[in-house]
Amino acid sequence: MRVILLERVRNLGNIGQEVTVKNGYGRNYLLPKSKALRATTENKKIFETKKAEYETKNAEKKVIAEKQAETLRGFTLEIVAAAQSNGKLYGSITVRDLAHYLHEKGHMVERAHIAMPKPISETGIYTVRILPHPEVSADITVVVGSTQDEVYALQNPTATTEQVIAPIQETEAPASPEISENTESN
């Protein structure tokens, strides 16, 4: 199927390019999402008349994506997940989970914009690329640990045991248990 791209599509082409794609990809993704038009003579004329409009719309989307990417650059996402003693997670952290955790932290990132080659299945530090626009990207750091102490230790590998425990104790509310003695005399 020959299509004319209405916006830049990663690994396919730029605005106005006429490319050949598989029928299913064109019918099920590009055409319904208004990312392309069928390459007919009539649609070529329509594209030429609206080319400036499509380019302006793409530039606006790019500016919004750059603002979003700027807020994400250098961001560290800390995740505490259940894991075995050898570091293997009981389950894995997928794109869906990352999108959920990012939403909790106030970053509205769609799942389709998260580029992760495979799910995270072990504790550790990972770099994940966020692609809010085909021309814009931002890398975030994801730290996965089985406890908050482990997450802190992963981020500060030279820290001693006292340095790891101290920040955790500072964030916890001091517990002042009330001791009451009930003495009953018979």
Q: What is the pLDDT of residues 44-54, one digit of tens each?
A: 999 999 988 98
pLDDT at 159: 55
Q: Which CATH number fits domain 73-171: 3.10.430.100, 3.40.50.1860, 3.40.1350.10, 3.40.50.2300?
A: 3.10.430.100
Helix then strand count (H, E) for the chain reads 5, 9
CA geometry: angle 29, 110, 130, nearest 5 deg: 100
Name which of 63, 52, 65, 75 is nearest 6 in CA terms.
Answer: 52
Q: Which CATH class is domain 2-64?
A: alpha beta
Averaged pLDDT, groups of 10, the chain, 186 residues long: 90 90 94 92 91 90 93 92 91 94 92 92 93 91 90 76 49 48 49
pLDDT at 162: 53
Domain parsing of the chain, residue ranges: 2-64, 73-171
Asked if 122 and 114 touch (Cβ cutoff 8 Å), the reply is no
DSSP state for residue 17 in the 8-state scheme? -
Q: Do 73-171 and 2-64 fall under one CATH topology?
A: no
pLDDT at 157: 74
